[in-house]
Chain A
Amino acid sequence: MNAAVLIPVVPLLLGLAGLLLPPGDDNKNKPAATLGIAGAAISLLVTLGVLLFATKPVELSTHWVSIGDIDLTLGISVGHAALYVALAVATVALFVQIYSVAYLHDDPRYAPYAAQISLFTGAMLLVVTSGDLIGVVVGWEIMGACSYLLIGHDRRLPEAPAAAVKAFLVTRIGDVGFLLGVAFLIVDAGSSRLADVLAEPPHTAALLLILAGVAGKSAQFPLHTWLPDAMAGPTPISALIHAATMVAAGVYVVFRLYPLFEQSPAALAVLGVMAAITILLGAFSAMAQDDMKRVLAWSTVSQIGYMTGALAVGSPAAALFHLLTHAAFKALLFLAAGAVIHAVGTNYLSRMGGLREHMPVTFWSFVAGLGALAGVPPLAGFWSKENVLTAAAHATEGGETAPVWVGWLVWIAALFAVAITAWYATRLLLWGFFGISRAHGPDGPDWEVGFDDARYTQPAAPHDPPGLMRWPILLLAIPAVLLGLAAYAPGFRTALELDEPHLSVAIVLPLILLAAGATAAWWLWRAVPGVDPAMALGRARPLLAAGFRLDDIQDRFLVRPVKALARAVLTLDTKVVDATVEGTGTTTSRVGAALAYAHRLPLPAAAGAVLAGALLLGAVAVLFGAAA
């Protein structure tokens, strides 16, 4: 099963090759698109092949390099769970590549774009399949760089470069911790092979440091601030980042290192608190967004919180299951949102409305995706969320590594967020797709007064996207609807070590909350027609829309102090360090000038000085000569 090596290597190599294609050529996107699609497709096929034919986990390892007494290996280590994740990654990447061909058909820099997606995919697959911590770090950081490049891709958006820099830097701050944590683990084990690392009892400090990196990549509080801004990237990229790569990586790494986390109640408690805050923070913030993509972005923050919550309460299987279903429905939602934006020309819900009749395919995709997101039975999200809630409820009874209060915290946060998620999903659907079109904006249509008549411009009728964009959406709708039922498939269940789903009375509570949230949104929308249901949030709305102003806090307590410090260090460098050097030079010159002046004495004085010198030397000679 050596073919497993190809899973990350093919997209990485094809991505590098794609970077060499000439950029800036219009209408010559074919080779670039072919390379991109081929990379994802080959990975997908190889993953499928290994999944079908491998009977036991694939373990390949070869010596890479020794630095001092630390041995690094190049290795692949994939069990069936990893293969399922790789399958999700490759599938989403393939659809994103196909979708992008139509979505960015007139982009003059398509070649680097497609190549960067390939690299991004390859890096994520490397994280998933690597059997060595350094391999994980390599993939982890390449993803950061690719996210930077892709988020900043759109040259027409003035906010894109800043968003790209923010995404890279915020995750990089987390990576300070990640790198140090990895260093601790490697030094303890004397090797970077995962099998060796997992065999050592860990320091809690190392795990907490790793969690900092996880918070950065997986957009967990307090390092989640980059994700909503990352919406400046093209929509297919959002799908890729949210569903398959990047944010999933953090959760996956904790899953991969779970044998270590299992030994540390403190680390799990921190993870649980982080998860509970993130679940609610994301859900509340999603309620008040006007930008459709930002609603989805905040929902990702919240849903990833469910995954980390599941990890914290001791159920990595539930986390991974939710990761897979989330990949399906979030990719679907983003690609469908791309279709809407493509047709309407705006991200703002306040300019949408009434899209249902014109875009039936997109509408039904949204119904499926949002339903899965909210957890409507029997869609995918229902099953996986149910698993997370069951695990949290189970943890409240004690007996897990995590303290009991963490179980309660995660369980209550997750339950409460079910209602909020239903609320904002319903709001998005009703406000975006029902009612009348608001494409003209709040001032009504533009009137054109002519010689004969006054008339207003008809809004352009939006339409469903072209085939290359429609098919990925339709195909993704299948797992978004059905993937949850995979919990009944024994093979899938054993791969994830998932419990058999048992539908008991416990599901009643979340279903009631779900119905309550959805009904509340529907009632608000129904009661005051033509007004955003989010208006009901009143004075809290701007606060929620700004994500609790955590950006401002980050700016005040991190960005500005660093800038001030930089200014101070620069001043120190020029005014003290360099001035000392320059001062030494100037002083030497001055002393030299003074001495030179002293040598320009008139003749009598000079003769006197010579005689005085002779006298002195003679005196010294007599003195010391007498002594000797």
Chain B
Amino acid sequence: MTVALLAVLLIPAVGAGVLALFPARLDRTARLVGTIFAAVTLIPIAVLPFGRDDGWSVLSAHPLAVLPWVDLDVAWVPALHLNFHLGVDGVSYPLVVLTGLLTVLCCAYTMWRVPTGGSGRTLVALLLVLEVGILGTFLALDLILFFLFFEVVLLPMYAVIAGWGGEDKRRAARKFVLYTLFGSVLLLLGVITVTAAAGTGDLVQLTGSTELSRGTQYAAFALFAIAFAVKAPLWPLHTWLPDAHTQAPTVGSVILAGVLLKMGTYGLIRIGVGVTPLGAEWAAPLLGILAAAAILAGALICLRQTELKRLIAYSSVGHMGFVLLGIATLSATGLQAALLGNVAHGLITGLLFFLAGTIKDRAHTGELAELGGLRETAPRLAGLLGFAAIASLGLPGLAGFWGEAFAVVAAVQRGGGLWLTLAVLAAIGGALTAAYFLRLLRKVTHGPAVAVAEPYAITRTEWLAWSPLVLLTLAVGVAPSLVLAATSFPVRALTEALR
């Protein structure tokens, strides 16, 4: 099983290396090879759950908070307390699958359309490097290793935006990289604080342990929270996001919104809540207030947006607000809602960015005022956009509902004046979300048709890239246990550490 764990990281890494060796004239073949590597990565990912052994976790005398299904622990730099410790459990597995899936879809999409700015071969190679970094972040069970993978993601993303982006790409890419680097510095400080105080960076030992003093936990959680809040992003640390999304190529936006943001919320659950529970408890009210502010601010700003991709980017701020509200309640319900919300947002916003990219590519504009009548010129595309928008505004029966509704339920469950107010505000934010998505649909799909630069028919590759997202949105909506099945034990362990 450890082979599978290693293969998950090695296959895309090798793929990126192979692509780098490809001659430039074989661009199409190179993209195909890259796509195959990305697809093959799914095999070890699919194998991972077979390593799960529930019996042991229950029978064990001293249950640990993190019980990886598959575990790989090799000493790397003992002097720095750095171990090459990888593992996967119910909290990280859905995100691992999501990452693998979205990378394949993005690579496949690049087979059909390479955004202007550079060669398709390099873009696919960068996507594979990104995949390594993101998967590594989700799999790392060592604080320093987590930080390393967290950083690996930055530069390829910078290159994707700066190389294949829109008109203002360099400024947006710079803002993205500098802003998130600022967060990384704080993360590094937090990691060092914890490792130095506890004498180990091993998350399995750190989670739920009582070794860290109250003061250390407060300090470390403050550092972690700001670092992850930049990544997530949490209002008011979000302003890198709209620029990066608007300028990034379609595949960049999909990866960025689909999985990159999840590194922030995942880190907050695994490290923030797991390693420094006292700090989390201390900061929870503030986090909750900021989350509610993010929900409302994101929705209100979306109501005034005039650009398609910018609007969807800002909608992410609101959606991640729901996820953070779930985390801030620090209850089992809230954390599970956050995990579900994470995956749902990845699926739905990934789909939305694909569709927005297609519309923008063909109409040569993303201005809402210049779009219109999509249901006349492209009924299927309009139907898909309608589906994605309705899923994103949280229609029950589709994936988006669970995370958001149960973040509210968790806040109600927490009780007390503050949390009830936050629940009410979040619910109002849900209504505003409907308002801006309906405005979007009205501007883009209804009304008289606008002449388009290119025909609107959906190609086979596009169907291939989109249909898994559509189906999974529906499947997770009908059967949320697809995501939640394995999370109840780890989440319970996390919340028990709080008591």
Contact residue among B380, B401, B424, B434 (Cβ-Cβ distance under 8 Å from A180): B424
Nearest-CB residue, chain A, relative to B487: A67
- A112 contacts B383, C-beta separation under 8 Å: yes
Task: Give min CB distance, B244 to chain A, whole Å.
Answer: 13
Q: Mark B372-399, 1 if CB is under 8 A from A, else 0.
A: 0001100110010010001000011100
Instruction: State the CA gap A347–B250 with chains docked (Å).
Output: 47
Most chain A beta-carbon contacts within 10 A, residue among B238, B300, B375, B402: B300
Q: Mark B396-423, 1 if CB is under 8 A from A, else 0.
A: 1100011001101110110000000001
A615 located at the interface, meaning its Cβ lies under 8 Å from any Cβ of chain B in the complex: no
- B396 contacts A137, C-beta separation under 8 Å: yes
- B438 contacts A68, C-beta separation under 8 Å: no
- B300 contacts A566, C-beta separation under 8 Å: yes
Most chain B beta-carbon contacts within 10 A, residue among A67, A148, A172: A67
Task: Give min CB distance, A227 to chain B, whole Å.
Answer: 18
Which of B89-97, B152-160, B253-261, B333-341 lines the interface with chain A? Answer: B333-341
- A187 contacts B430, C-beta separation under 8 Å: no
Q: A566-B300, A567-B304, A585-B178 known; A184 and B412 CB under 8 Å?
A: yes
Task: Give min CB distance, A156 to chain B, whole Å.
Answer: 11
Contacts of B304 in A (CB 8 A): 566-567, 570
Q: A70-B333, A566-B303 known; A183 and B396 CB under 8 Å?
A: no
Contact residue among A24, A149, A169, A183 (Cβ-Cβ distance under 8 Å from B431): A169
Contact residue among B335, B402, B405, B446 (Cβ-Cβ distance under 8 Å from A152): B446
Instruction: State the CA gap A19–B239 with chains docked (Å).
Output: 38
Contact residue among A24, A148, A179, A183 (Cβ-Cβ distance under 8 Å from B438): A148
- B380 contacts A65, C-beta separation under 8 Å: no
Nearest-CB residue, chain B, relative to A135: B396
Nearest-CB residue, chain B, relative to A565: B300
A175 located at the interface, meaning its Cβ lies under 8 Å from any Cβ of chain B in the complex: yes
- B336 contacts A67, C-beta separation under 8 Å: yes
Instruction: State the CA gap A186–B406 with chains docked (Å).
Output: 11
- B383 contacts A19, C-beta separation under 8 Å: yes
A176 located at the interface, meaning its Cβ lies under 8 Å from any Cβ of chain B in the complex: yes
Contacts of B446 in A (CB 8 A): 152, 161
Q: Mark A106-143, 1 if CB is under 8 A from B, else 0.
A: 00010010000000000000000000001001101110
Instruction: State the CA gap A577–B239 with chains docked (Å).
Output: 7
Nearest-CB residue, chain A, relative to B386: A149
Instruction: State the CA gap A570–B401 with chains docked (Å).
Output: 26
List residues 274-288 of chain A with CB under 8 A from any CB of chain B: none
- B376 contacts A155, C-beta separation under 8 Å: yes
B351 located at the interface, meaning its Cβ lies under 8 Å from any Cβ of chain A in the complex: no
- B396 contacts A141, C-beta separation under 8 Å: yes
The majority secondary structure among interface residues of chain B is helix
Q: A165-B438, A180-B412, A183-B409 known; A68 and B431 CB under 8 Å?
A: no
- B427 contacts A67, C-beta separation under 8 Å: no
Instruction: State the CA gap A106–B484 with chains docked (Å).
Output: 47
Contacts of B401 in A (CB 8 A): 138, 141
Q: Mark A157-183, 1 if CB is under 8 A from B, else 0.
A: 000011001001100110110011001
Q: Mark A245-270, 1 if CB is under 8 A from B, else 0.
A: 00000000000000000000000000
Task: Give min CB distance, B341 to chain A, whole Å.
Answer: 11
A448 located at the interface, meaning its Cβ lies under 8 Å from any Cβ of chain B in the complex: no
Nearest-CB residue, chain A, relative to B412: A183
- A66 contacts B379, C-beta separation under 8 Å: no
Instruction: State the CA gap A173–B433 with chains docked (Å).
Output: 11
A456 located at the interface, meaning its Cβ lies under 8 Å from any Cβ of chain B in the complex: no
Contacts of A24 in B (CB 8 A): 379
Contacts of A552 in B (CB 8 A): none
Nearest-CB residue, chain B, relative to A69: B332
Instruction: State the CA gap A112–B334 with chains docked (Å).
Output: 37
Instruction: State the CA gap A565–B410 with chains docked (Å).
Output: 28
- A176 contacts B430, C-beta separation under 8 Å: yes
B199 located at the interface, meaning its Cβ lies under 8 Å from any Cβ of chain A in the complex: no
- A138 contacts B413, C-beta separation under 8 Å: no
B118 located at the interface, meaning its Cβ lies under 8 Å from any Cβ of chain A in the complex: no
Q: Mark B261-289, 1 if CB is under 8 A from A, else 0.
A: 00000000000000000000000000000
Task: Give min CB distance, A193 to chain B, whole Å.
Answer: 15
Q: A161-B442, A169-B435, A573-B239 known; A66 and B488 CB under 8 Å?
A: yes
- A173 contacts B431, C-beta separation under 8 Å: yes
Instruction: State the CA gap A165–B436 with chains docked (Å).
Output: 10
Nearest-CB residue, chain A, relative to B495: A68
Q: Mark A6-23, 1 if CB is under 8 A from B, else 0.
A: 000000000000010001
- B300 contacts A183, C-beta separation under 8 Å: no
Nearest-CB residue, chain A, relative to B376: A155
- A68 contacts B303, C-beta separation under 8 Å: no
- B481 contacts A65, C-beta separation under 8 Å: yes
Contacts of B236 in A (CB 8 A): 577
- A67 contacts B408, C-beta separation under 8 Å: no
- B380 contacts A23, C-beta separation under 8 Å: yes
The majority secondary structure among interface residues of chain A is helix
Task: Give min CB distance, B477 to chain A, whole Å.
Answer: 9
Contact residue among B178, B179, B395, B423 (Cβ-Cβ distance under 8 Å from A142): B395
A624 located at the interface, meaning its Cβ lies under 8 Å from any Cβ of chain B in the complex: no
Contact residue among B397, B406, B412 (Cβ-Cβ distance under 8 Å from A138): B397
- B431 contacts A175, C-beta separation under 8 Å: yes
B480 located at the interface, meaning its Cβ lies under 8 Å from any Cβ of chain A in the complex: yes
B17 located at the interface, meaning its Cβ lies under 8 Å from any Cβ of chain A in the complex: no
Instruction: State the CA gap A575–B231 with chains docked (Å).
Output: 22
B464 located at the interface, meaning its Cβ lies under 8 Å from any Cβ of chain A in the complex: no
- A67 contacts B383, C-beta separation under 8 Å: no
Q: Mark A179-218, 1 if CB is under 8 A from B, else 0.
A: 1100110110000000000000000000000000000000
Contact residue among B296, B336, B379, B397 (Cβ-Cβ distance under 8 Å from A68): B336
A543 located at the interface, meaning its Cβ lies under 8 Å from any Cβ of chain B in the complex: no
B126 located at the interface, meaning its Cβ lies under 8 Å from any Cβ of chain A in the complex: no
Contacts of A565 in B (CB 8 A): 300
Nearest-CB residue, chain A, relative to B481: A65
Instruction: State the CA gap A538–B219 with chains docked (Å).
Output: 74
List residues 299-344 of chain B with CB under 8 A from any CB of chain A: 300-301, 303-304, 331-337, 340
Task: Give min CB distance, B488 to chain A, whole Å.
Answer: 6
A539 located at the interface, meaning its Cβ lies under 8 Å from any Cβ of chain B in the complex: no
B439 located at the interface, meaning its Cβ lies under 8 Å from any Cβ of chain A in the complex: yes
Contacts of A173 in B (CB 8 A): 431
A145 located at the interface, meaning its Cβ lies under 8 Å from any Cβ of chain B in the complex: yes
Task: Give min CB distance, B357 to chain A, whole Å.
Answer: 23
Task: Give min CB distance, B320 to chain A, whole Å.
Answer: 15
B428 located at the interface, meaning its Cβ lies under 8 Å from any Cβ of chain A in the complex: yes
A446 located at the interface, meaning its Cβ lies under 8 Å from any Cβ of chain B in the complex: no
- A65 contacts B484, C-beta separation under 8 Å: yes
- A570 contacts B300, C-beta separation under 8 Å: yes
List residues 464-487 of chain B with CB under 8 A from any CB of chain A: 479-481, 484
- A67 contacts B333, C-beta separation under 8 Å: yes
Task: Give min CB distance, B499 to chain A, whole Å.
Answer: 13
Contacts of B376 in A (CB 8 A): 155
Contacts of B480 in A (CB 8 A): 65, 67
B348 located at the interface, meaning its Cβ lies under 8 Å from any Cβ of chain A in the complex: no
A581 located at the interface, meaning its Cβ lies under 8 Å from any Cβ of chain B in the complex: yes
Contacts of A597 in B (CB 8 A): none
B447 located at the interface, meaning its Cβ lies under 8 Å from any Cβ of chain A in the complex: yes
Contacts of A142 in B (CB 8 A): 395-397
Excluding A68-B331, A175-B431, 10 further A-B contacts by CB distance (< 8 Å) are A112-B383, A145-B390, A155-B376, A161-B447, A172-B435, A176-B431, A569-B301, A570-B304, A577-B238, A581-B179
Please give the residue numbers on chain B whose beta carbons come within 8 Å of chain A beta carbons, in ascending order: 175, 178-179, 235-236, 238-240, 296-297, 300-301, 303-304, 331-337, 340, 375-376, 379-380, 383, 386, 390, 395-397, 401-402, 405-406, 408-410, 412-413, 423-424, 427-428, 430-432, 434-435, 438-439, 442, 446-447, 479-481, 484, 488, 491
A-B contact pairs, 11 of them (CB 8 A): A68-B333, A68-B337, A68-B410, A109-B379, A176-B427, A179-B408, A562-B435, A569-B297, A570-B301, A578-B239, A581-B179
State the 10 A-B residue pairs at the shortest beta-carbon distance, nearest first: A68-B333, A68-B332, A138-B396, A161-B446, A566-B303, A566-B300, A578-B239, A569-B300, A65-B481, A183-B412
